[in-house]
Amino acid sequence: MTNEHSNNPYYSRTDKKHLNVSNEEWKKILPKEVYDIAREKGTEWAFTGKYYKTDVKGMYYCAVCGNPLFRSTSKFASSCGWPSFFESLSGAARYVEDNTHGMRRTEVLCARCDSHLGHIFDDGPEPTGKRYCMNSAVLDFEPDDPKAK
């Protein structure tokens, strides 16, 4: 576990047990930006996220709980302004209809901690045709080669 997660007793990259943690508890543990996006369903400004242009082989994890979410091999360059993936790892995410802000879309939540990650759209590349539009602030990245950061 990295130093940034030392205050988070729920963070694990191996534990698959579903978490039932109150927002009150998460607010004490998480950095403000992570809490605002993950628990209050916020978003970061387009083209500002730390992983928007990342093109290194590795694994993306939920920054809230450590759940593995995406392999970099499913990441692609899109013009939406957020890191985009065409598929998540099996069982890593769950999906909820989102009709806020006058739009019909599908929200993507971490399957382990129920944190908001972003949204999924049907305008991605093959082989899935999906575009997972994710917020960098709620992702952690671990490169396959530690020298590649």
Walk me through the domains of the chain, giving residue ranges and CATH numbers.
14-142 (2.170.150.20)
* Residue 148 CB-density burial (10 A; 0-12 exposed, 13-18 middle, 19+ buried): exposed
Q: Which of 25-34, 95-104, 109-118 has the lowest average pLDDT?
A: 95-104
Report, as an integer, the average pLDDT of 30-53.
94
pLDDT confidence tier of residue 1, bands split at 50, 70 and 90? very low
pLDDT for position 149: 61
Active-site amino acid positions: 133
Amino acid at 34: V
Report, as an integer, the average pLDDT of 49-75.
96
Q: Is 82 left (phi over 0), alpha (psi -120 to 50) or beta?
A: beta
